Structure 1
């Protein structure tokens, strides 16, 4: 075993001593401040190993029923793990589509923020779901409906007038239950209040039944 003599010079002993200027209190404070700045830069600098993706975001606030135009959306790069599920990644996926709910400027648009099969499927848990427009026999009912309401669609009774003016209609009948309201159109500006339309999401079979009945019968909804 080799023993080191206490008189043998160590590596640190061979290094030149630090200048007194670097060991003064002011110098130490300056070095500490520099290290703090370097630590801050390291903390905010993007991790090169983290993946980023391009998503579509709203350039302005969007209201339900608005058809998206090119100047209302833009693309933004975000970190993959911060993006919501199923974000839109191309402007063509958003332009000329109808907004289904309120969207704030800067919000990332997803497949269920715009009218389409994805929204219908998400609202009904049925991949084959459809969105059906319904004109209600009593337009005032549309005033109380909100996006996200779950309703039953009912065929009107004999004391209701058919929307086509054909006279009396059949006894009350539930045509579809647990329908999801995805959009309520703005109130009509003309003399007719029947111009207001409610869009509801339903499984395919129920959607077909409601769409057919809306052509001849007075329909209303019951909020669950």
Structure 2
């Protein structure tokens, strides 16, 4: 009799059984809410990162294939890619209309970002020389084979037949592909374009009317 009473006293009561039965569901509910909160936080982070990426990327135009000096750009020569804003160079082309019908001043490799400094434009002389009064002057060289040695960006001095310096520190802006190939002596080749100050440009242009000129590379 005492054992039965002791077992009854030690056995779980009804309310304990009810509480035990209810508790697992409450624990699961808490766990579900925590998991849901974690998922929402993760989704918010992904959306935020994606939004930042979308706002920090910018469309730019790159060369669809190798472009050569003197080549006039058409719509098929450029294609659009997206770059992080901090990696986009100054003067990068954003619209196809900004590049079409312009002439390439130097070789541009496939996938390279096309910038204004690679194209003939009214801004090119200032970009090359850093002077607002800079001008572009076409000249023909006394020795056509020298043109094959020149590349866009080279610094040269321009001399006349009397070895007088007409322009010092001129910048080569454009060497046409036919001139940059391997011409033979005394063959007719397109002129090269040099960027220089306004006063020097006038001297060089005037001297070039009567005779071919020579250049000395720095």
Work out which of the residue numbers 50, 61, 69 in structure 2 matches 1:64. 69
Distance 2:133 2:111 in 1: 31
Give the match's secondary structure for 2:52: coil
Shift, 1:107, TM fit: 2.4
Is contact 2:105-2:175 (8 Å) kept?
A: no
Residue 163 of structure 2 is matched in structure 1 by 172
In proportion to residue count, which structure has more helix?
2
Is contact 1:86-1:111 (8 Å) kept?
A: yes
Residue 184 of structure 1 is matched in structure 2 by 175
Residue 73 of structure 1 is matched in structure 2 by 78
Work out which of the residue numbers 133, 137, 149 in structure 1 matches 2:142. 137
CA displacement 1:33-71 (0-9 Å, x = unmatched): x9xx98996797351673554433222221211110111
Residue 116 of structure 2 is matched in structure 1 by 111
Normalization by structure 1: what TM-score?
0.69
Instruction: Give the aligned length.
Output: 187
Is contact 2:67-2:109 (8 Å) kept?
A: yes
Max Rg structure? 2
Unmatched tracts of structure 1, length 5 or more: 1-12, 20-33, 157-170
Unmatched tracts of structure 2, length 5 or more: 1-22, 30-38
Normalization by structure 2: what TM-score?
0.70
Work out which of the residue numbers 93, 96, 109 in structure 1 matches 2:98. 93
